Amino acid sequence: YEEFGDERVRDTPISEATIAGAAVGAAMAGYRPVAEIMYIDFATLAMDQFVNQGAKNRYMFGGRTTVPMVLRTEGGAGRSIAAHHSQSLETWFVHVPGLFVVTPATPCDAKGLLKTSIRDDNPVLFIEHKMLYKTKGEVPDEEYLIELGRANVTHQGDHLTIVSYSRQALNALEAARRLDQEGIHAEVIDLRCLKPLDIDCVVESLRKTGRLLLVSEAYRNANVVCEIAMRVNELAFDYLDAPIRRLCGADVPIPMSPVLERAAIPGVDAIVAEARGLMA
């Protein structure tokens, strides 16, 4: 605000519907707004504006208008702030045509993906995991962009493939390092974007490994990883040497108790255990 003033930075009441609606209108009027909703749990209050208007208007106007907006929000559990502030609802939005969903795991990716999202002519939901805000990492000073829909292989391996995103991508990386010590070499793929989805990267990895473990913090039922598993069955079934496994959050409201919260979401130990089971 000190640098740009109130012409570019607007402080609003906490009304998610108003924030999203104003962003959609500004985008259609020629701006590139970046709107912020504090928690993805309350993006539900902006579903009409973001899903029914923002995601559809380019199509419904026959391409005569675009909706270049970014809706930044935070998701995920880990701070013991209970069920209303700890959900991972990215799957809801992946289901919507016309909407992109970005889920960075590192500071470098967050910057590059955010800059690309702002420049894209489609509405983007940019989800930052609340437990990653203190993450440190190298971030280039120079201009750089990261293409939406381009996954990143963060660890090489030839025994199994672990696919994840956001905070769980870092957990998967730590799990792979532990597995290395046991002689199990996992390839880790950080999707970075759930939509557009880089399924080609997953298929290419499976050519080498033949085994797939999908990890997500979101609820297990109808999780986005189910869609990934289905695409793998359609595109790469012949590469599979074992049934696909998924490790997801429990289908329960996220508890406030730290012990119960940890039990409700995947952790490094659980990923290691699933990987061992896949190799058995």
Side-chain half-sphere CA neighbours of 108 within 13 A: 8
The 8 Å CB, 24+ separation contacts for 39-42 are 39/73, 39/74, 39/75, 39/84, 39/85, 40/73, 40/74, 40/75, 40/87, 40/88, 40/89, 40/90, 40/127, 41/75, 41/84, 41/85, 41/86, 41/87, 41/89, 42/16
- Which tokens sit at 179? 């597995």
Whether residue 159 lies in the annotated active site: no
HEC per residue, 191-243 = CCEEECCCHHHHHHHHHHHCCEEEEEEEECCCCHHHHHHHHHHHHHHHHCCCC
Through-space distance between the first and last CA atoms of the chain, rounded to whole angstroms? 56
The answer to whether the beta carbons of residues 70 and 34 sit under 8 Å apart is yes
Residue partners of 206: CB distance under 8 A and separation at least 6? 161, 212, 232, 236, 239, 240
Alpha-carbon span 189 to 157, nearest angstrom: 11
The active-site residue out of 74, 85, 187, 274 is: 85
Nearest Cα residue to 14 out of 95, 73, 78: 73
Given the residues 3, 7, 16, 142, the one annotated as active site: 16
Q: Based on the residue annotation, tell me whether 85 is a catalytic residue of this protein.
A: yes
Spatial contact of 72 and 202, defined as CB atoms under 8 Å apart: no
Active site residues per annotation: 16, 85
